Amino acid sequence: MSLVQDETRVRAEEALRSVRVRCMACGAAARADRPAGQCAVCGGLLDVVLTFDRPLARDEIGAGLPPALRASGVWRYRPLLPALPSAAIVTRAEGNTPIYWDDRLARFAGLERLGLKHEGHNPTASFKDRGMTVGISHARAVGAQIVACASTGNTSASLASYAAAAGLAALVLIPEGKISGGKLSQTIAYGARIVQVQGDFDQALTLLRQLTEAYPIYLVNSVNPFRLEGQKTIVFELLEQLDWDVPDLIALPGGNLGNTAAFGKALDDLWNAGLIDRLPRLATIQAAGAAPFAAYFASGFDRYEPVVAETIATAIKIGNPASTPRARRAIERTDGLVTTVTDDEIMEAKAAIDRAGIGCEPASAASLAGVRRLVREGALAPEAKVVGVLTGHVLKDADAVVDYHLHDRDGRPRPGANRPVSIPAEMAALERTLADALHG
């Protein structure tokens, strides 16, 4: 899936010389011709530096690209991405995801209209593919042989797929017993080496950061600024789909906060490129049992305390989000909001999304649950123009669906649940079971 197999490494290195990263803590800048996990001076988080000598025109997006890049909902925004050499790019035509406008879900949220951009339509069924295509392409450009992540499941599935496509070895650290079967099976299928850590996600990430500092292994977690560059394209594509009519608010779930950070950077870049003249507010929604960023926000960004995370939404079960300073910057710049929702609110919102025929995994439903809460609390007016992001596909966590519909938390049948029934293989039994429907 590499685009130009025969372009030489030397040319790739030359192309990389123009790409720079800068530390958001101390301002030190560096070339991006090596893995870029953290600032070499102070250990701070890095941003990819993009500068625009002149305003970009909207019709420059997607223009003059080879078909494989034009087909990608990430690489078609190439003027708004780091200038990685074409020879290094590994793409699976990621992105190009729909926005659903469903009246029932708008009513559920208490809004007149609500868009839900569904990132579960990506090749490995979560938004992670958008960041992964850029992260793995940068890894190839710098000559990495082994790529690695710690993951609550979706990053590992995406990393495993893109590493396989690129012909790189992949290593994945996951918290043992704490990721869904669907995500684990994707990661196994695509051939990553999987190490289950007897601890939580935060411990797995700490271990991996130590490993990648000591050995030549390329870290692809969202501390890596190239991942975030790809994830920016959720916002680019969303705005393009709205004909650049900027919404009042974009809501998304927050775990490790890479996506919140990426959305903030996307808006900065669009602003600097002259493509928008107004910013939407960002709203990051955390699960109540995994909400250190919401507490930090509530303190006026004065006191930050990591927590031991607990939530049914395993994808956002993170107690010490690595991108916290970047996410704070994004919320501050957009006059954004951070709120929490309970597991019950998440599952209720998920059931509504599923029943609308759309479906998503539990963490994704935090977007809708959070918007509903913001409306109820008066922080968001019913006529506000809002787009929520659904981050992963319903099949990512099939157990969560079946468990929800089989019984409630006390083991009792859940009212309104869609319980499959069992019958002997006989027509009479089928008619008895369907009596209501057959006889009106």
Ligand X SMILES: Cc1ncc(COP(=O)(O)O)c(C=O)c1O
Minimum CB separation from ligand X for residue 411, in Å?
Answer: 27
**Residue span 372-411 as binding mask against ligand X, x where in contact by CB under 6 A, dash where not:** -------------------xx-------------------
**Residue span 154-173 as binding mask against ligand X, x where in contact by CB under 6 A, dash where not:** xx------------------
User: CA-CA distance, 440 to 432, in Å (whole number)?
Assistant: 13
Using the rule CB under 5 A, is 39 a contact of Zn ion?
yes
Minimum CB separation from ligand X for residue 253, in Å?
Answer: 4
User: CA-CA distance, 349 to 205, in Å (whole number)?
Assistant: 30
- Decide whether 199 or 325 has the Cβ nearer to Zn ion: 325
**Residue span 300-329 as binding mask against ligand X, x where in contact by CB under 6 A, dash where not:** ---------------xx-------------
- Decide whether 123 or 253 has the Cβ nearer to ligand X: 253
Radius of gyration of the chain (CA): 22
- Decide whether 16 or 134 has the Cβ nearer to ligand X: 134
From the number of C-beta atoms within 10 Å of its C-beta (0-12, 13-18, 19+), residue 348 rates as middle
Using the rule CB under 6 A, is 200 a contact of ligand X?
no
Minimum CB separation from ligand X for residue 390, in Å?
Answer: 8
Q: Which of 137, 259, 311, 339 binds ligand X (CB under 6 A)?
A: 259
**Residue 120 interacting partner from Zn ion, ligand X, none (CB closer than 5 to 8 Å by kind):** none
Q: Give the number of other CB atoms < 10 A from CB of residue 135.
A: 32
Identify which range of 133-141, 213-221, 271-279, 360-368 contacts ligand X by CB under 6 A.
360-368
* Alpha helices, DSSP H, located in 242-299: 258-272, 292-298
CA 232 centroid distance within chain: 10
**Residue span 207-246 as binding mask against ligand X, x where in contact by CB under 6 A, dash where not:** ---------------x------------------------
Strand ranges inside 188-331, DSSP E: 193-197, 218-219, 249-253, 281-287
Minimum CB separation from ligand X for residue 317, in Å?
Answer: 9
Using the rule CB under 5 A, is 282 a contact of Zn ion?
no
Using the rule CB under 6 A, is 126 a contact of ligand X?
yes
Contacts 24+ apart (CB under 8 A), 379-385: 379/337, 379/339, 380/111, 380/248, 380/249, 382/110, 382/111, 382/112, 383/111, 383/112, 384/111, 384/248, 384/249, 385/113, 385/245, 385/247, 385/248, 385/249
User: CA-CA distance, 146 to 139, in Å (whole number)?
Assistant: 9
User: CA-CA distance, 402 to 419, in Å (whole number)?
Assistant: 9
Contact residues: ligand X, CB under 6 A: 126, 152, 154-155, 222, 253-260, 315-316, 361, 363-364, 391-392
